[in-house]
Structure 1
Amino acid sequence: MQHLSVLLVEDDPGDAGLIKYTLKYDQTDNQLAWVESFSALEQFFAEQQAKPDVILLDLNLPDSTGIETVHACKRLSRSTPIVVLTGHDDTEFALQALEAGAQDYLAKGSLDADSLSRTMRYAISRAKLEERLILSEERMAAAIEGGKLGVWDWLFDRNEFVFSDRWLATVGFKSDSPDLPGSADEWLERIHPEERPSFELAVERHLSGELPNYQCEFRLRHRDGHWVWLFESGHIIERDANGKPIRMVGVQQDISERKAMEERLTHLAMRDELTGALNRRSFMNIADREYGRIKRQKDYSVGILMLDLDKFKQVNDTYGHAAGDEVLKRFSHVVTEQLRENDVFARLGGEEFAVLLPHTEQEGVKKAAEKLRAAVEAQSIDIEEAQVIQVTTSIGVTMMHPDDERPDGGLARADKALYDAKHSGRNRCCVNIYNA
């Protein structure tokens, strides 16, 4: 059994002798130090380097009495466990001592070796648990503050959410806002319709026991009307006798900035940085998807256009690459303005571009190509020193076909038509339709 270092604070020599005798009778060779006043206790801590394992504290000292003695001793000894000694057994008084910071309470009249030893060891164990709890709460508070987390409770039996001030501030509310939603249902109605199904599924999977906790990312409508991206994590902490959930607690984090960054990165990964048009990889992914639809649906048709700016090298050589970049951007803008919302426009590289025209018959594809050619020809591009550049485009036209080798077959045909357009005078559209 572990030997204890015990500090006795007792002004009555008779009571001190009784404690000494009781500890000696315990036969555990505990080390006992004795002081007779609070001032002597202060001196003890000032002179001693090693703290005692436990303090046995009488509340009626010459220079300190009552519950204030516990407060003063706690300030002095910090984490050292305290067992309060008193001459009478009073439950209410005991609770006051525990609330003041003591770990346990023992009446002098009921002292014996077993109860004293058990009480001291219990006080030490409780002090360790309290210290761990305090550290845990401090870490949690630091994590919540550092992570800018909001805290919430979902009270199922009351159909109510309880939020921390930070959580409410994230979506523009205060606890005293006159328009603060009152029920859980009102809050759930503020979830974006696109994320509502995934939110409900995540909650249900946790409530049913399929997942150990609930986690979900979703948008919630801010008080001023815009959408805020949130990440939430929580778990059930209370159920009734039938297993029905009563209370779930969790944390929430505003991830709007992260989502905006993800959207930006996705945009950069999918689009050409200069023109804003889709890049080759994105275009090929969409073309492959459209080819799949062609294979599955016999009445579905897709047109393919390959576009190339005529004599673009001369623009760069004559006016410089900055002017060439401006031409590419203006060209992309003109083409985009002429296309439908579901049409797909991409820069494949250099001055070469491509267009997919979903759900468009052959005649419609030809008309779209001529419309693009005319719009580009009509465009005048102003550059520095009041110079104006006019450019034209050559366009190769074809239709995607289910017997093509993936979409590459259709693109090769369109590229051949583009070659024909370039070598037959430029600024024109040439058609190359699939022949079995």
Structure 2
Amino acid sequence: MLDRSFSNTKTLTGHLAIFFTAVSIVVGLVSFLIFYLALQWSEDRVGERRILIDRDAAVAQFLNGANGMIQIDELTAAYNDMSLVPDDYQQYLEDKQQYLGEVGEDFNPLSHMVFKGQYTQDGEAKPIVLLTLIDRVEFGVDELIYSGVIVVLFVAGLMFTFGTILYRLSIRLIEPLNDITTQLDQEFIDVEKAFSIHPQSAQEFQLLTARLNQYRSELNLTLKREQAFARYASHELRTPLTVIKGANTLLTRSELTSFQERQIHRIQDASREMATMVDALLSIVRYERNIDDAPQREILEKEITAIIEANSAQAMSKKLDIQLSCNGSPSTRATEAVISMVLGNLLRNAIAATEHGQISVCLDKTELSITDDGAGLSDTPNEDGHGLGLLIVDDLCQRYGWEFKLSNHPQRGCTASIKFDPS
């Protein structure tokens, strides 16, 4: 229960206030109870000591000739004859040789301290009874009310003290954390705006806020550099590719030998592959902050077929068969260049790992998988992969919320799978 109450800093101040108030009330009640019991105990002990002193004075008077009932003072009367003791007190004294206690509250507004004992006169034991009107020296209702007011003031002082401590703790330890959490929990965060914190906050929160502002500033500068890269690199990288493609097209219009035709085709394939990579890398920079803003589209079978054809040159030289099975079209926000980079890299890895057999590419509504007939994963796999490497593939999958998995196939080689909807 306490763990749930104090696990949320936003409600921690209120819970602490309730806790401290409850503690103050409990401490006040316990203090009042202890004070009241101690007062009653001390009054009883004082009454007992007083009546014992009066006993000695009464015994002295009885030994000097007094008899029957004598008045020691305004409060105490002594008896050496049991028949003279008031009937209301007889019930407490009969059949008892010794008695000391406070009685009379049930039949008299004022209670008495009663003592019964014996003294010896001329070798004969005689009874002695003393009645002391103890209520006249004990605390009355007014005094108890006054003492209760003192306890209430004490509790109020405790509550004020705890409230002050709670307020100072809240300013220094709790509210700064709530302020930072509120600023971080905003739906739209202005990266240009610095985090703010109460000037009386603890030094650790001051340092935390300063570091958050520093990291936000560095992140903002990094984002601006990447945005500048996305604006300028697109032109700077595509212009040479356009020149290469144009020059290559002009070369195809002239008479060429078979060797020259092969080289022109190689240039055409390399420039197309490079253009795909450039588009994919630029899309990472352009959409890494707002992937959700990219348009939703379906990955069609013809797109997968085109990627397979563009990356099947090595498979043809190895006489490998690439089989495509399409049972659905998954939905994604990734561009065609990103899909081409991811699938192309996985295909080239599968082709490089397979010496004979076939490579299976399966596509359905939620998953894309590539299975080869290679040796499978070793104990120390090459994480760099081929080309951009599996690390880049994994990074792209993380950016778009896909689940990338590389595992051994039970009957064949290795299976690389991408789940577009991990849920």
Question: Which range, TM-score by smaller chain?
Answer: under 0.3
TM-score by length of 2: 0.18
More helix per residue: 2
Whichever of the two has the greater Rg, that structure is 2
